[in-house]
Structure 1
Amino acid sequence: MSFQGEQHPGVQAPTADSEGFRLNHTMLRIKDPEKALAFYTRVFGMRVLRRLDFEEMQFSLYFLARPEPGERIPEETGERTVWTFSQRGVLELTHNWGTEEQQDFAYHDGNAEPQGFGHICFSVPDLEAAQAWFDANNVTFVKRADQGKMKDVVFVKDADGYWIEVVQADRLGQMGD
């Protein structure tokens, strides 16, 4: 029998009604798309799959991901939009027009009080190399791998102050109970 998920109070067996459901993306609101896109494309190697503008409502959506090497991404925008919304691990950056011009404007990062949203996470093949890359690109650290109680886990901040957890999967086998 294949793994069916851990069982805890509140966990219920999925029904056929949710068959085929897939988590597609997580959305973060950004102040300045130029800064946010520079960060995610340069530092984390993501690619913009699709930009959607909504003139009447004055906002733009940027969908970013790390496609697998050799993965075929449709060129035609309609096909690429459908393809984008069928993927896993997509990051949606939402820009409400004009926020980049507001000096004191900032979104809540979810980690200041009152806490809510916490972070997104990237898995990397080599945590030390990733930390060196972050240092070389002046990325702000919340926590390095050798700091705090949770070793081998890094937290950095993006251009809007959102936290990003960075892990090397093969180091986490003994984590938790």
Structure 2
Amino acid sequence: MRMLHTMLRVGDLERSLAFYCEVLGMTLLRRKDYPDGQFTLAFVGYGDEKSQTVIELTYNWGVDQYDLGTGFGHIALGVEDIYAACDQIRQRGGRIVREPGPMKHGSTVIAFVEDPDGYRIELIQVAPQPPVNSEGRPAVATA
């Protein structure tokens, strides 16, 4: 079993696609209109759906705003350089709502970005990952 996607309802699909693709650097993987149901689904992510968890953006035609409530927290993305990532997001028009710094009661460096619909995206500083081979094991350098 593995996680496939997280769905977010959005009020303006084009605006959300611009944010996730242009600001956060994701790729639009697929998009489909469902005229009978009056909605459109768009899937975005950093890799193909066969091996990566992605985000499903659901646009219900004619609905331009949602009450996010208090139950949903955030989506988290790992970044190798959180300060550079925040600078890049800012330069691309993204909104940083918590500047990089240690999390409360801990040492992990985090920041928060807000998407156009108000969903929060946590950025977490992670150590660079070593290269892996086609089997997902650490790659061994050859001379």
Alignment deviations for residues 80-138 of structure 1 (CA, whole Å, 9 cap, x no partner): xxxx3x343110000001224xxxxx22334xxxx201110111121110111122123
Preserved CA contact (<8 Å) 2:46 2:52: no
Residue 59 (structure 2) aligned to one of 95, 119, 127: 95
TM-score relative to the length of structure 2:
0.79
Tell me, yes or no, if structure 1 residue 109 matches structure 2 residue 68.
yes
Q: State the alpha-carbon separation in 1 of the partners of residues 84 and 76 from structure 2.
A: 17
Letter in 2 for 1:23: M
Tell me, which stretches of 5 or more residues in structure 2 are unaligned?
129-143
Identity %: 41
User: Structure 2 matches for 1:27-66, cutoff 5 A?
Assistant: 27-66=7-46
Tell me, yes or no, if structure 1 residue 158 matches structure 2 residue 115.
yes
Bigger CA radius of gyration:
1
Structure whose residues are more often strand by fraction? 2
Tell me, which stretches of 5 or more residues in structure 1 are unaligned?
1-20, 68-72, 74-83, 101-105, 172-177
Q: Point out the more displaced range, 41-50 or 142-151.
A: 142-151
Aligned CA-pair RMSD? 2.0
Residues 66 and 116 (structure 1 numbering): CA distance in 2 closer, same or farther, change over 3 Å?
same
Paired residue secondary structure (1:165): strand
> 1:128: which partner in 2?
83
Residues 148 and 142 (structure 1 numbering): CA distance in 2 closer, same or farther, change over 3 Å?
farther
Letter in 2 for 1:98: G
Tell me, yes or no, if structure 1 residue 142 matches structure 2 residue 106.
no
Preserved CA contact (<8 Å) 1:22 1:88: no
Structure whose residues are more often helix by fraction? 1
Aligned residues: 126
TM-score relative to the length of structure 1:
0.65
